[in-house]
Amino acid sequence: MKRIFILLLILCTLSACSVTKVPDEIIVVFDNLYPEGIEYDEEGERFLLGSSSEGAIFQVFDDGTIEPIIEDSDLYECVGIEIDRKNQRLLVANINEGEGKSYLNSYDLSTGERIFRSEISSIKPDLPHIANDVAVDADGNAYVTDWDSPAIYRVDMEGNPTLFMEHSKFNYLNGIVYHPNGFLLLGSYPGLLLKIPLDNPELIKVDITDGYWGFMLTDGMILHPDGTLIMVTFPRSDIGRLQSDDDWETAQSVGISLGHTAGYGTTIALRGEEVYVIYSHLDRYYDGLDQSRFEIVHVIFE
């Protein structure tokens, strides 16, 4: 009997008992932070948040401790952020609405030192620009969506921007992800999910065939390790989950998480296989109101 008890104790230690429970919610207290972008840095065991008002990048720990890690006079309004894990960089979609300019900023993930600032709005200087979200491919090329103009820009590892694709179906582009099979997935108004192969760029409409929960716009998007695509809808802030069995020619709904509207959920991040959404409260920012509490919430799907 004693041997059985010891064996059970060892098995428990090696399995369930050694698993650390992830927090359901992290409360961030910071006057008028208004974070839109979020990422999770596994190595640093910290969330990273951009700020629409501060022009800085902050780190947040599970106890809610928050501190700036990147303060740059050339950071204006941080929108989407993306960790390039292969090259240990943080990529930041950065807009200066007053001047009508948009940039992609790149920083060393460990030191916060700026690597480059690339002005993507210089490619089409006569058009309005709001850089919105960013994805990075296996070679370190970044792809930036433009909310105000029907274009996606590519920025190489040295910070050189080029026009990747322009199309009339690009309306209010926001969330974008890179798929390891060599293509981009992105959302466009009204309720379109689009696929673009990188080796031969063409626009392919993904046919959502079953259980479609509907969206008009997407905000943040992530590709989960299980292969599903998770997307925040705008303006409802519901979070939907899609899967595909044919390399994203078609897709089916496999879950939805409701009730994120009150905090104005914008973008999502992966912590291992767990999904978190940032409650940005940007509705109050747009209305010129103050807000001191922001929530990072663990997403549970129905």
pLDDT of 10 over the 70 cut: no
HSE-CB at 295 with a 13 A cutoff on CA atoms is 14
Q: What is the pLDDT of residue 191?
A: 85
Helices (H), the chain: 2-14, 282-286
55 φ/ψ sector (left φ>0, alpha ψ -120 to 50, else beta): left
**280 with 266: CB under 8 angstroms?**
yes
What is the bridge-based pairing of β-strands 239-243 and 229-234? antiparallel
Distances (CA, A) of 54 to 47, 72, 236: 17, 10, 26
**189-199 average pLDDT score:** 93
Specify the higher pLDDT residue, 19 or 60: 60
* 52 Cβ neighbours under 8 A, 6+ residues apart: 34, 35, 36, 77, 78, 79, 280, 282, 285
Average the pLDDT over each of 2-16, 137-151, 180-194, 242-256 and give the range with the smallest value: 2-16
What does pTM read for this prediction? 0.91
**26 C-beta neighbours (distance < 10 Å), count:** 21
Q: What single DSSP character describes residue 185?
A: E
User: In angstroms, what CA-CA distances link 75 with 12, 105, 136, 202, 240?
Assistant: 48, 8, 20, 33, 31
Q: Chain-wide mean pLDDT for the chain?
A: 90
Distance CA 70, CA 57 (A): 5
- Worst-scoring range by mean pLDDT, 76-85, 115-124, 185-194? 185-194
- pLDDT tier at 26, thresholds 50, 70, 90: very high
With a cut of 80, say whether residue 2 has pLDDT above it. Answer: no
Q: Is the pLDDT of residue 41 over 70?
A: yes
- Determine the Cα–Cα distance for residues 289 and 34; give it in Å rounded to an integer: 11
Please count the other Cβ atoms lying within 10 Å of the Cβ belonging to residue 197. 15
Q: Other C-beta atoms within 10 Å of 271: how many? A: 17
> How is residue 112 written in tokens?
């916060």
Q: Is the pLDDT of residue 247 over 80?
A: yes
Q: Closest Cα partner for 189 from 134, 131, 147, 144?
A: 147
CA atoms within 13 A on the CB side of 254: 13
Task: Note the pLDDT of residue 20.
Answer: 63
- Residue 129, pLDDT > 70, answer yes
Nearest to 148 by CA among 202, 219, 97, 203: 97
Q: Which domains does the chain have, with CATH numbers?
A: 22-298 (2.120.10.30)
* Average pLDDT of the residues in 7-27: 60
Residue 143's pLDDT band (cuts 50, 70, 90): very high
The residue ranking higher by pLDDT, 104 or 192, is: 104
Q: What percent of the chain has pLDDT over 90?
A: 78
Which ranges constitute the DSSP H helices of 110-194?
none
Residues forming a β-bridge with 203: none
- Angle of CA points 39, 44, 48, to nearest 5°: 25
**With bands split at pLDDT 50, 70 and 90, how would you rate the model's confidence at 263?**
confident
The share of the chain scoring above pLDDT 70, in percent, equals: 92
Cβ pair 208, 215 in contact under 8 A? no
Please check the confidence at residue 176 and state whether its pLDDT lies above 90: yes
Can you read off the two tokens belonging to residue 58?
A: 């902050």
Rounded CA-CA distance 231/147 in Å is 17
